């Protein structure tokens, strides 16, 4: 019972999506959360949900996509998201590496924090090179259901996140990326989830990622935690159930 809580199967390059889904099911994946990043992406995500029973919707606006929209457009998209009844808000957050105007980013992120609280569903957070700012905003808003996607902040900040009972989703690049290995060592297994961020972050450099590869993440988590893969799988599935109900 594997879960991929963060991927983008609506992106270009998945012309073989039927086969991708079958491979995921064959690997034991039973839930795939596709994260919308724009108005177009949110609608494509809902189309995928209608076509594949294993796919569940997270809807949101990626930081750079949100900057293309004015307040009226963002309000309209938030109303659309409410009506669409996603199981999570995502992918939303802050990007201090390649997206300008952090003040505006924070304004929009706060709207999605408030939306996640209103709907009482998890928020899947992008926080690249803005990790502490994102955490501070979540703390001030007293959010309870949080997933830090592909978290690359300090281990000290990771422990602060863990104290809030928030989760970390770990991608397949843990196979060669030491920052994720260190994160898994530091954080309790009870706050770990698996993701792929497909088509990105494959365990095989230069190759397209897909949901079946959560099993590669799981192997490394089990090795680091010195438990059997089956035990790691059970723990992470229970984490998923605890968070999503």
Give me 178's structure tokens: 């030491």
pTM here is: 0.97
Task: Report the run of H or E that residue 84 belongs to, with start and end.
Answer: helix 71-84
The reported pLDDT for the residue numbered 245 is 87
Greatest Cα-to-Cα distance within the chain, rounded to the nearest angstrom:
51
The reported pLDDT for the residue numbered 124 is 98
The reported pLDDT for the residue numbered 52 is 98
DSSP code at position 175: G
**Looking at domain 2-244, which CATH architecture does it have?**
Alpha-Beta Barrel (3.20)
Rounded CA-CA distance 167/92 in Å is 15
Report CA 157 to chain centroid distance, whole Å. 18
Rounded CA-CA distance 122/191 in Å is 14
**Cα 25-30-36 angle, rounded to 5 deg:** 100
Q: Could you state, in chain order, the average pLDDT of each consecutive group of 10 residues for the chain (245 residues)?
A: 98 96 98 98 98 98 97 98 98 95 98 98 98 98 98 98 98 97 98 98 96 98 98 98 95
Rounded CA-CA distance 30/25 in Å is 6
Phi and psi at residue 95, to the nearest 5°? -135, 110
The reported pLDDT for the residue numbered 137 is 98
Cross-strand pairs, 4: 32
Domain limits, the chain: 2-244
Q: 215-238: buried (b, 16+ CB within 10 Å) or exposed (e) per residue? A: bbbbbbbbebbeeeeeebbebbbe
Cross-strand pairs, 153: none
């Amino acid at each position: 019972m594997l879960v991929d809580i963060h991927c983008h199967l609506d992106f270009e390059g998945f012309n073989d999506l039927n086969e991708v889904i079958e491979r995921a099911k064959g690997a034991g994946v039973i839930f795939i959360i596709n994260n919308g990043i724009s108005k177009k992406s949110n609608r494509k995500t809902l189309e995928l949900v209608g076509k594949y029973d294993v796919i569940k919707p997270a809807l949101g606006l990626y930081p750079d996509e949100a900057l293309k929209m004015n307040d009226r457009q963002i309000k309209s998209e938030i109303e659309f998201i409410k009506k669409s009844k996603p199981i999570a808000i995502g992918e939303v957050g802050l990007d201090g590496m390649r997206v300008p105007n952090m003040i505006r980013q924070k304004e929009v992120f706060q709207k999605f924090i408030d939306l996640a609280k209103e709907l009482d569903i998890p928020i899947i957070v992008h926080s690249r090179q803005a990790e502490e700012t994102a955490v501070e905003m979540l703390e001030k808003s007293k959010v309870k259901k949080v997933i830090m996607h592909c978290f690359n902040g300090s281990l000290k900040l990771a422990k602060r996140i863990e104290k809030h009972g928030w989760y970390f989703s770990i991608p397949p690049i843990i196979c060669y990326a030491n920052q994720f290995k260190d994160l898994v060592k530091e954080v309790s297994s009870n706050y770990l989830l698996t993701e792929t961020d497909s088509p990105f972050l494959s365990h095989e450099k230069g190759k397209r990622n897909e949901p079946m590869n959560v099993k590669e993440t799981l192997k490394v988590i089990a090795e680091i935690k010195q438990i059997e893969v089956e035990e790691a799988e059970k723990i992470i599935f229970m984490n998923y159930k605890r968070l999503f109900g």
